[in-house]
Amino acid sequence: MKILARLSEADGVAGDEQQVRKLIREFAEPHSDDMRVDALGNLMVTRSGDPDLPAVMIAAHMDEVGLMISHIQKNGLLKFYKVGGIDDRVLPSSVVRIGEDKVAGVIGAKPVHAQKPSEWKKVIPYDKMFIDIGAQSEDEAQKKVKPGDYAAFATEFGEMGDGRLKGKAFDDRAGCAMLLEILSADHSVPLQAVFTVQEEIGLRGSQVAAWDLKPDLALVFEGTTCADIPESEEHGYSTTMGEGPAISIMDRTSVAHRGIVSQLVKLAEENDVPFQFRRSTAGGNDAGPIHLTREGIPTATVSTPCRYIHSPVSVLKESDFENGVRLIELFLQSIERGFRP
């Protein structure tokens, strides 16, 4: 999991993906026939194959949720905006790093002993919070940061429990790591690996890339919600950790291509690859704009279950990730043998 570790610890809040993009270029270079970055910032890695086989776009987004500095107060504390969907409840006391210099900061709010009883049961909104970088004045803070700087959660990657991994931005650095694994394998299928930008703020990069590349079909790799925890009803788990990669039937932005879904299920069952269906239709991902591009592109999504996504730290099981890679490799091999959606 060396690649996932490095990707997780890199910072790439939506709109500021260059650090992640640089790292992925380093990993992808030995397996690329062509590599370029478009005007929006998508990294497109093409691997030539048999021209008689359909070109397959495999996509994962580089960006993560985070913050942007909006204002520096006279006392040196920083106000901020949220970039992407973040629950305000996970923000207080989170440690962040800001800008290119990775200035350390802590998100603060009015302490509970200074709150009125009427405030105790209310969620503190993010616009009532601030980031403390240890500056004592506006002038001191301006020497370190400026409005418009991005702030990412400062979370160290690590192992925990039985084959589980913790880190930040598994949505969707897990998908990026899967793409890199697929690129490094031996396939004759023409591959268009796209590491997209700005998914967390409107699924933006994938639409541009799909229009440019014109693939015959597409697979999107995601890190998806896993809510198999106490206080959650089983039907609301969405996915369950350890039960394999999750195949989506539909979500808010797309209905998966039934031919691709059926083939994924068939291959998993025939080859004893554990899998599950994503049991929620909430949210969306890059499959949404991809499948609507040009005349339409047959598209499906395979996800790694991740607990606590869109927060400072997520948890996934390594076997779910590995089985996701295995399932995609089987799918590409089936295209080589003649499968067409």
Q: Measured between alpha carbons, how far is 302 from 316 in angstroms, rounded to an integer?
A: 15
In this structure, what token pair is assigned to residue 34?
A: 């062509």
Query: DSSP states of 203-250 as a string?
Result: SHHHHHHHHHH--SEEEEEEEEE---STTS-GGG-SS-TTS--EE-SB
Cβ atoms < 10 Å from Cβ of 156 = 11
Quick count: other Cβ atoms within 10 Å of Cβ 148? 10
Closest CA to 248 of 200, 176, 171, 302: 302
Distance between terminal CA atoms of the chain?
32
**Neighbour count for residue 153 (Cβ, 10 Å):** 24
As a whole number of angstroms, the distance between CA 206 and CA 203 comes to: 6
DSSP state letter for 294: T
Q: What DSSP state is assigned to residue 197?
A: S
Count the helices and strands in the chain (H runs, E runs). Answer: 8, 17
Distance CA 54, CA 216 (A): 6
| DSSP at 262 | H
Q: Are 271 and 329 in contact (CB under 8 A)?
A: no
Question: In the annotation, is 199 catalytic?
Answer: yes
Contacts of 301 (CB under 8 A, 6+ apart): 219, 220, 221, 222, 247, 248, 251, 254, 256, 278, 285, 287
Look up residue 137 and give its DSSP letter: S
List, in sequence order, every residue forming a beta bridge with 225; answer none if it has no partner. Answer: 306
Catalytic member of 199, 222, 243, 322: 199
Q: State the catalytic residues.
A: 199
